[in-house]
Amino acid sequence: MIPGARKINLSSLLLIFALFLLPGPSLAGQYQVYRVVNGDTFIVKHGSVKLTIRLFGIDAPEMSNRRHQVGQPFSLEAEQHLSKLILGKTVEVKSYGVDRNGRTLGEVFLLNGRNVNLEMLQAGLAEVYREKLAAGPDMHPYWQAEEEAREAKRGMWVQGEGYVSPGDWRIKHQS
């Protein structure tokens, strides 16, 4: 065995195969939420395998990647809201592929049927993803949820004209 290499069990290999090679919603199932990374990304456990899930079709305010640097307004609120919704719970994930960072793009549901992606939009703690999306679910409910939150000035929409899209914020703060 190569030093530093880890054994991969058969179930891990099959899961990786399903993620990368099967078309459409390839990963579907129930998973235990292990950690929330930010307002649109979290980690699940499936046996001994940990997967990073990126909520499909939404974009939450950006947290800072640097120590002692403030992130985008409402980034902490988005992360905390997502944590309250899913941390430590079992969720149903319907996958729509993998993003350029290797994260599974998923539409996520609580076991009572609530759509977590829509909940983040309704709370005003995410916007509909503005860049090109892979094929996925009907986006009409997503746009409607965002519009309702914006009109009600919920969450990040309270900023009015001062609001900056997470995509624009990433471009400005990449360096």
Choosing from 6, 35, 54, 170, the catalytic residue is 54
Choosing from 103, 107, 119, 127, the catalytic residue is 103
In the annotation, is 77 catalytic?
no
How does 55-92 read in b/e, with b if 16+ C-beta sit within 10 Å?
bbbbbbbbbeeeeeeebbbbbebbbebbeebbeeeebb
One-letter identity of residue 11: S
In the annotation, is 103 catalytic?
yes
Which residue is it, tokens 């990647």? 65
Choosing from 62, 107, 119, 127, the catalytic residue is 62
Q: What angle do CA 71, 76, 77 make, to 5 degrees?
A: 135
Q: What angle do CA 86, 90, 95 make, to 5 degrees?
A: 85
The span from the CA of 31 to the CA of 54, in Å, is 14
Catalytic residue list: 54, 62, 103
